Structure 1
């Protein structure tokens, strides 16, 4: 499925971002229930690098294609690439995606992922804090049970916004409130 990369996030309005999210046609993996499960021999490293048999996958379009088939099974917590014929186990060291850019647009926080997907935080895509106060990590719900970990610069931007907005380290996006304090 061809995919037109979105423009620079800072140049897009919230409406443009919402339309780009809506226009992104993903395979209906939630409707596929293949009987066969095999090992993909793939891994997503903690830094967001996709690897096959230990070697990085260097073509961004290939990573985007694989990412569109990715889901986390709610039963066993494992990650799989799903096709109508089979599901392939994939090891994920931390999070399936990395949030590499953030923009505040009106009452919403929009994020660009390392796969160039756009996600607007809110009730359907909550933010959650994990870790401890000395080494916190913020995660954004993406799709099919998968999350994106905010990279360091994006985390710092979000923390600065939380300090500006409140005394309790919370941010708001689409009327949903999210604490940046690890639970």
Structure 2
């Protein structure tokens, strides 16, 4: 367990490392293999809010820096990764939330573009697929879009209604199943969710 003040120094050190790396372009987090440094109390809530020891991190610039070096490993755990450190981060649902949707075209030529709460822009398709999760009965339809690596964004509730409406516009595959087209890929909706 870190001594008081040590975790704050770790966060400041991480921020400094990230600022230095920002000028060099996208962080190659998937290739870094630093030593595991444990848990300092970082978490991402279901609504996409970032927390440090239960308190919201209010500096969006810092959140965006941290989001750039977030990684989900094959063990299904999330980590903030720098060339020198690997720190646990608890994620309640998905690390990002898709908060904006732009639709161009229609039918099989349709393209969906999502913007996340940390301003990643994702063109939904084969490389950034849409999947539909299952949760508690009261959760309803829970779509996710892959952002990068193993990281996904939960599609916000307001955008879920837009997706269902797109499926209701007679979006079907060759077998007549309801779903959503984007960038040449077809994403099948679960039974009873629209179409």
TM-score > 0.5 by shorter chain:
yes
**8 Å contact 1:140–1:148 — kept in the other structure?**
yes
* 1:177 counterpart (163, 186, 190): 186
**8 Å contact 1:138–1:180 — kept in the other structure?**
no
Q: Which runs of 4+ in 1 moved over 4 A?
A: none
* 1:125 counterpart (101, 125, 128): 128
**8 Å contact 1:159–1:169 — kept in the other structure?**
no
The residue number in structure 1 matching 2:89 is 90
Instruction: Tell me, in whole angstroms, the C-alpha distance in 2 between the residues paired with 1:91 and 1:36.
Output: 15
Structure number with higher relative contact order (C-alpha < 8 Å, ≥ 6 residues apart):
1
**8 Å contact 1:36–1:85 — kept in the other structure?**
no
CA offset at residue 181 of structure 1?
1.3
**8 Å contact 1:42–1:51 — kept in the other structure?**
yes
Q: What pairs up with 1:12-91 in 2 under 5 angstroms?
A: 25-74=25-74, 76-91=75-90
TM-score for the superposition, normalised by structure 2: 0.76
**8 Å contact 2:72–2:150 — kept in the other structure?**
yes
Q: Which runs of 5+ in 1 are unaligned?
A: 3-24
Higher radius of gyration, 1 or 2: 2
CA offset at residue 105 of structure 1?
2.1
* 1:115 counterpart (114, 118, 131): 118
Instruction: Tell me, in whole angstroms, the C-alpha distance in 2 between the residues paired with 1:165 and 1:60.
Output: 40
Render the CA deviation track for 1:105-157: whole Å, top value 9, x for unaligned.
Answer: 23310001000110010001000011267612001011121110011111111
Instruction: Tell me, in whole angstroms, the C-alpha distance in 1 between the residues paired with 2:31 and 2:51.
Output: 27
TM-score for the superposition, normalised by structure 1: 0.81
CA RMSD of aligned residues (A): 1.8
**8 Å contact 2:171–2:181 — kept in the other structure?**
no
